[in-house]
Structure 1
Amino acid sequence: MTATVSNFHYGAVTPIAAYLMACLGAALGLRCTTRSLRRPHRRARWLALGAVSIGCGIWTMHFIAMIGFSVQGALVSYDTSKTLLSLAVAIAFVAVGVFLVGYRGGSPLNLGIAGTVTGLGVAAMHYLGMAAIHTNGGLHYDALTVSLSVVIAVAAATAALWAAVSIHSLWSSLGASLVMGVAVTGMHYTGMAAVSVHLTGGTAASQSSTDLLSFLLAMLASPLAVLLIAAVIVMFDPDMMLGDDTWDGDGARDRVTPAPYGAGAGTDLPVAQQQPQRYTSW
């Protein structure tokens, strides 16, 4: 018997929350990548933080959305090992794409390779997370819809990586993250549209959602904490609110210090010959 499946058990709460998490991860990833390009001596650190932020954002989006997943007449539970493995897959594949564009640039070929790897990783995370589901029935997928979800994942990943190396101003990054949130969340719900559940065991009179909700919230606690820490690091970085600054090859910003008032009146050096004052931050 084919069961009735819903992805909106709690109404609009879960898709909206999932979208916001996808946007947060994308925004943090974009800002971290921008810093990595401006500070080559700290590039690996910023790229790693960006990859973790994007990966955690995508994974958190998925499982917040899955809070709203229900199967009529069936109990739903998750395998802990596969659930955590899907998080590791998301971060690892995103890291490959982020480091490729971070170190090799945003050429069309490099973007294509990095976007494909990252997109396939996002799709693998999604379907591995779905494989973690236990219910008294079997999950079946429509091949065409699954293929469409993978295409969306690759396109979204490529666009995100392009934005990471091409968009550097704060407000442009925030706008790009909103668009990326739509793409990533759209990929999730496209993948969920491919799912059907064929019940094989006895039907449950009512589904107890308390244990499931507790499990998912426990799984979400650590990635949410990581996103919070990443947000604090980015927000307290001195460069956070700066716009189109000029950075030298060592990642330090040059700032001209004017001559003291009254010192050497009429003999001040031209601006081009004044010594810059430098500072760096992590």
Structure 2
Amino acid sequence: MQGTVDGFSYGFVTPVAAFLMACLGGALGLRCTIRSLRKHGTLKLGWLALGATSIGSGIWTMHFIAMMGFTVQEAPVGYDPTITFASLAVAIVMVGVGIFIVGYRGATAMALVTGGTITGLGIATMHYLGMAGMRLPGRLQYDTLTVTLSVVIAVVAATSALWAAVSIHGFLPSLAASLGMGVAVTGMHYTGMAAVSVHLHGDGSPAGGDTATSLLGPMLVGPAVFLLLAGAVVVFDPLLVTGDRARQRPVLPAPRRPGAPASWQSHSHGERAVRPPARRPRRRERTGDR
């Protein structure tokens, strides 16, 4: 028996929430990648790892928020926790490989193509591994052409995002790149879901696994962590958000020397105070004979 599939059982709530999470993860990941290009050694490694974790976690959270709206009318749908969270690890690792290639090789054509392909395949692998974790009294079937299209979308989106990370600087261009990445990743997800059909068998009893509702708690942990991370970035590292090459430091007047008039204070934007030349005593004019 063919099952009746509905990917929008909550209307536009789940697609919009999924899109926002994809944008947030992409924005943090791209800004971390940009910051890593100006660092070396351990700091570079740390920024790239944070970028990979941000993008991978954002895509994974996007996927399962969107899956909250997926239902099969004739049967309950469950999820295997092990496979579900294994898909998170796959996303972070494969996205990380792609980001590290670009972070260490730079914006060369070979690095972008290789890194974008690996990152895109990581996104697609996470999606279909997460789908493999579904438990229902039946089996999933996929349309090959639509699946191929979804993988192509993932690879193109990932390559474009990595190119933007190393080529576009400034907050507004990076924000536009993050929105574009959110559209592409979300579009890839729903393209992949359009390839799905469900063939049911048995009496429609549950096939094991946790329900979507029971997974809502772990899903909400991701958005909360991202919001905290974004807040910490804004408060403690404005350079990560603005993309400026140098921080804007406040101009502080130089300390006044003891006994020096106020007019001797420096007005040279925080540089060392320059004291005006001392007035030489006037020579007394000779009057009369010695």
Calculate the TM-score normalised by the size of structure 1: 0.84
The one-letter amino acid of 1:19's match is F
Residue 198 of structure 1 aligns to a residue whose secondary structure is strand
Match of 2:53 in 1: 52
* Bigger shift: residues 147-156 or 234-243: 234-243
Is the alpha carbon distance of 1:243 and 1:85 closer, same or farther for their aligned partners in structure 2, counting shifts above 3 Å? closer
Match of 1:25 in 2: 25
Match of 1:88 in 2: 89
Distance in 1, Cα, partners of 2:167 & 2:110? 15
Tell me by how many angstroms 1:36 deviates: 1.1
Match of 1:15 in 2: 15
Tell me by how many angstroms 1:168 deviates: 2.0
Match of 1:195 in 2: 196
Match of 1:273 in 2: none
Deviations 1:240-280 (A, max 9, x none): 45454259xxxxx9x9954356x2348xxxxxxxxxxxxxx
Deviations 1:125-168 (A, max 9, x none): 00000000000111000001000000001111111111111122
Distance in 1, Cα, partners of 2:245 & 2:162? 22
Tell me by how many angstroms 1:232 deviates: 3.1
Match of 2:168 in 1: 167
Tell me by how many angstroms 1:96 deviates: 0.3
Distance in 1, Cα, partners of 2:276 & 2:98? 55
Match of 1:2 in 2: 2
Is the alpha carbon distance of 1:242 and 1:187 closer, same or farther for their aligned partners in structure 2, counting shifts above 3 Å? closer
Residue 38 of structure 1 aligns to a residue whose secondary structure is coil
Match of 1:230 in 2: 229
Is the alpha carbon distance of 1:19 and 1:238 closer, same or farther for their aligned partners in structure 2, counting shifts above 3 Å? closer
Tell me by how many angstroms 1:171 deviates: 1.3
Q: Confirm or deny: 8 A CA contact 1:56 1:224 kept in the other structure.
A: no
Deviations 1:109-139 (A, max 9, x none): 1110111111111111000000000001110
Runs of 4+ aligned residues of structure 1 deviating over 3 Å after TM superposition are 240-244, 255-261
The one-letter amino acid of 2:5's match is V
Match of 2:283 in 1: none
Residue 164 of structure 1 aligns to a residue whose secondary structure is helix
The one-letter amino acid of 1:220's match is M
> 2:156 aligned with 1:155, yes or no?
yes
Give the structure with higher Rg (CA).
Answer: 2
Match of 1:212 in 2: 211
Calculate the TM-score normalised by the size of structure 2: 0.82
Tell me by how many angstroms 1:172 deviates: 1.1
Residue 37 of structure 2 aligns to a residue whose secondary structure is helix
The one-letter amino acid of 2:81's match is T
Q: Confirm or deny: 8 A CA contact 1:82 1:128 kept in the other structure.
A: yes
Distance in 2, Cα, partners of 1:94 & 1:128? 15
Identical aligned residues as a percent: 60
Distance in 1, Cα, partners of 2:95 & 2:124? 11
Distance in 2, Cα, partners of 1:229 & 1:33? 19
Residue 196 of structure 1 aligns to a residue whose secondary structure is strand
> 2:272 aligned with 1:264, yes or no?
no
Gaps of 5+ in 1: 248-252, 267-282
Gaps of 5+ in 2: 252-267, 278-290
Is the alpha carbon distance of 1:103 and 1:143 closer, same or farther for their aligned partners in structure 2, counting shifts above 3 Å? same
Q: Confirm or deny: 8 A CA contact 2:116 2:159 kept in the other structure.
A: yes
Q: CA RMSD in A?
A: 2.2
The one-letter amino acid of 2:25's match is G
Distance in 1, Cα, partners of 2:20 & 2:167? 23
Distance in 1, Cα, partners of 2:83 & 2:63? 14
